[in-house]
A = this chain, B = another copy of it.
């Protein structure tokens, strides 16, 4: 029986989610694993749990803005600070679940393109027109996407993913599960890799 895939939860508004998104597939593949991507809306989790987003907390917000830029250079990933941040990620997240209804690979390619547009080029990807433009850039049908994100099943898929994440204890982005073991943060990918290599320690 093949090993279980990793579950990768993230919010498009999260820069640390971007760092993880650029590394997680290759990391898992080194250990013969696949990854299931799950964009979610952390804002809904925060609302449900009464928590303030870390970037909006006093002192921590200033630190995070500095740490994100420094960490991007540390990981050698391009980063342009978006003019609008944090964005509402409903549109890009729904676009992902629309793309996933047909093909997980194209959904993943779209997610990576959206992350690059937002965090590498600094584009505001909260509007569906921009999302469709990014999708067209990787060969997807922009008109089909614009219609698709209105389908109840697509809206439900995003809600269900966010609810499922919260039920599993997800409170931040990125959040990775390996065989039921949860790891929060791009800086925990080092531990994720150790877990994949040797199992529980």
Point out residues on A near B: beta carbons under 8 Å. Answer: 45, 49-52, 57-60, 62-63, 66-67, 70-71, 73-74, 166, 169-172, 182, 184-185, 187-188, 191, 194, 201
Contact = CB atoms under 8 A, between A and B. Distances in A.
5 residue pairs, one from A and one from B, having the closest CB atoms? A59-B171, A49-B58, A187-B187, A60-B171, A59-B169
A189 to B, nearest CB: 11
A50 B61 CA distance: 13
A166 to B, nearest CB: 7
A51 B62 contact: no
A31 B52 CA distance: 38
A70 B2 CA distance: 26
26 contacts: A45-B59, A49-B57, A49-B59, A51-B52, A51-B57, A51-B58, A57-B171, A58-B171, A59-B166, A59-B169, A59-B170, A59-B171, A60-B171, A60-B172, A62-B169, A63-B169, A63-B182, A63-B184, A70-B191, A70-B201, A73-B201, A74-B191, A74-B194, A74-B201, A185-B187, A187-B188
Nearest to A48: B58
B187 A63 contact: no
Contacts of A67: 184
A123 B51 CA distance: 31
Given A59-B169, A60-B172, A67-B184, 12 more contacts: A45-B59, A51-B52, A51-B57, A57-B171, A59-B166, A59-B170, A59-B171, A63-B169, A63-B182, A74-B191, A74-B201, A185-B187
